[in-house]
Amino acid sequence: MTTLLWLRQDLRLHDQPALVAAAHQGAVIPVYILDDEAPGAWRIGGAQRWWLHHSLAALDKALRDHGSRLILRRGDAVAILNEMADSVEAEAIHAICHYEPWWRKAEATLGERLCLHDGNHLAPPEQVTTGAGGQFRIYSAFWKGLQAHLPPEKPLHAPDAIPAPDQWPGSDKLADWNLLPTKPDWSGGFDWTPGEDEARRKIAGLELDGYDDRRNLPSEEGTSRLSPHLHFGEISPRAVWHASSAHDVTFRKELAWRDFTDGVVLALPDYADKNGRAAFDKLPWRSGKAAENDLRAWQTGRTGYPIVDAGMRQLWQSGWMHNRVRMITASFLIKHLLIDWREGERWFWDCLVDADYGNNAVNWQWVAGTGIDANMFGRIMAPLSQSEKFDAGDYIREWVPELKDLPDDAIHDPDAGGCRPGGYPAKLIGHREARERALAAGRKVR
């Protein structure tokens, strides 16, 4: 008996319930399909493609070490899976559940020949529900509801061997997909090591002492840097959970946030495109040439606010940004520049190696105040004081080299220190002026 293993954002052998189930039935054909049509505007971005190339190469090697291999195809996932299943006479297609709207549509189309397994969550989103049976829309209530499903089950071991078919179907060559970006700043690649081995190495050495405080300090290596591995499913959330301890509550809450955001897009599939609160459809976002210039300055790290510019340059050069700085840069675009949050969401989608449909959308709407569980629009982060509060001086020096020689009392705001270098841009707008403009726009919503 032959089965297909449909891989998407679950590129691992350990704690892979779909793989374990398929291997129990007989020969397994693992297949990854690059489908750029089903997601529409949400086809994976440039940074994710870089990661995907290396992750697929690592997975193929791991499969070959287990007596198997990875089949690559490009095109309509549903059509390719049906055609392949017919040609090899596969009795089933095993896969892990996904919650992006295009994948849920594909899963429904495949019908009864598809056997779905949960494996990318601490608990299946359909099981963590309100008393009325719906998805939680407030994270604190979700966290409380999740407790009934914790701890998650222990991770499954990888199979010792994966049964191979008598004959393998044809496969594309990974290099022919041209996933590696050609943008000049990205041509050398990023300083990451994609793949399951690296993800498992990281959780084996997971160090969370002082995490509550250190995670907010951009100048320190205080975060786990597991997010892209989790996004591509190179490690499972429950494996990460069991690598932490009961004392690591903040870390575990952040891990659970990923489950929460999948529940949000399960209930609201178009959350990445529409305001969670319809009243914000009336908010007068800026448009026109001046707004376009400001957006470009934000994207390229030329706003005149050192902490913002450091974050945006880190994003472009590394495919990742520190979590605290993500909030600061997002708030700056939305509140200081009064530019639609969706512009920032799409920029992050293209530039982040860990860009996740639900997580990205929920986070942007939280900062914007437009979401179902969100900050108030009137809460405007002050980037200069945030930079000083979280001691971002060395972080700024690393990513904004024009400012590397400034003293500590001027690094957060060179203008206030009277020592802004000639090559560093002036502020796009003053903080007080930006705050007043944003509050005026917010009043039109109310």
Q: What is the mean pLDDT of the chain?
A: 96
pLDDT at 181: 84
Across the range 367-390, mean pLDDT stands at: 94
pLDDT at 183: 72
Beta bridge mates, 94? 5, 115
To which residue do tokens 């946030």 refer? 257
311 occurs within a structural domain:
yes
Q: 291 and 240, same structural domain?
A: no
Three-state DSSP state, 31:
strand
Cα angle 436, 437, 442 (rounded to 5 degrees) comes to 95
Domain end point (choices 220, 244, 267): 267
In this structure, which amino acid lies at residue 246? A
Across the range 82-94, mean pLDDT stands at: 97
89 occurs within a structural domain:
yes
To which residue do tokens 């969670």 refer? 276
Percent of the chain surpassing pLDDT 90: 94
To which residue do tokens 């009392």 refer? 409
Q: 256 and 324, same structural domain?
A: no
Exposure of 394 by Cβ count < 10 A (0-12 exposed, 13-18 middle, 19+ buried)? middle
Q: 283 and 232, same structural domain?
A: no
Domain end point (choices 101, 120, 139): 120
Domain CATH number, residue 106: 3.40.50.620
Q: Could you write out the DSSP letters of every residue in 321-388?
A: --HHHHHHHHHIIIIIS---HHHHHHHHHHH-TT--HHHHHHHHHHHHT-SSS---TT----HHHHHH
- Lookup: tokens for 286: 């800026």
Nearest to 117, CA basis, from 201, 40, 198, 3:
3
Q: Pairing between strand 27-34 and 71-74?
A: parallel
Q: pLDDT-based confidence at 375, cuts 50/70/90?
A: confident
Q: 396 and 249, same structural domain?
A: no
Q: 283 and 253, same structural domain?
A: no
Q: 260 and 229, same structural domain?
A: yes
pLDDT at 187: 63
Q: pLDDT-based confidence at 83, cuts 50/70/90?
A: very high
Are residues 231 and 9 in contact, defined by beta-carbon separation less than 8 angstroms? Answer: yes
Q: 435 and 287, same structural domain?
A: yes
pLDDT of 435 above 90: yes
312-354 pLDDT, tens per residue? 999 999 999 999 999 999 999 999 999 999 999 999 999 999 9
Q: 144 and 100, same structural domain?
A: no
Q: How many domains does the chain have?
A: 3
Domain CATH number, residue 353: 1.10.579.10
To which residue do tokens 């007989």 refer? 26
Print the domain residue range for 338: 278-445
Residues 6+ apart with CB under 8 A from 364: 330, 341, 342, 344, 345, 348
Q: 295 and 253, same structural domain?
A: no
Q: 38 and 100, same structural domain?
A: yes
Instruction: Please tell me the total number of residues recorded for the chain in this structure.
Output: 446
The distance in angstroms from the start CA to the end CA of the chain is: 62
257-285 pLDDT, tens per residue? 999 999 999 999 999 999 999 999 999 99
Q: Pairing between strand 2-7 and 71-74?
A: unpaired
pLDDT of 311 above 90: yes
Beta bridge mates, 116? 95
154-184 pLDDT, tens per residue? 999 999 999 999 999 999 999 999 999 877 6
Catalytic residues: 254, 257, 285, 323, 341, 364
Tell me the C-alpha distance between 422 and 420, whole Å: 6
Q: 291 and 429, same structural domain?
A: yes
Percent of the chain surpassing pLDDT 70: 100
Taken in order 347, 349, 350, 353, the sign of the CA dihedral is: positive
CB atoms within 10 A of CB 235: 23
182 occurs within a structural domain:
no
190-233 pLDDT, tens per residue? 999 999 999 999 999 999 999 999 999 999 999 999 999 999 99
Q: 438 and 334, same structural domain?
A: yes
Q: Which residue has the higher pLDDT, 33 or 1?
A: 33
107-122 pLDDT, tens per residue? 999 999 999 999 999 9
184 occurs within a structural domain:
no
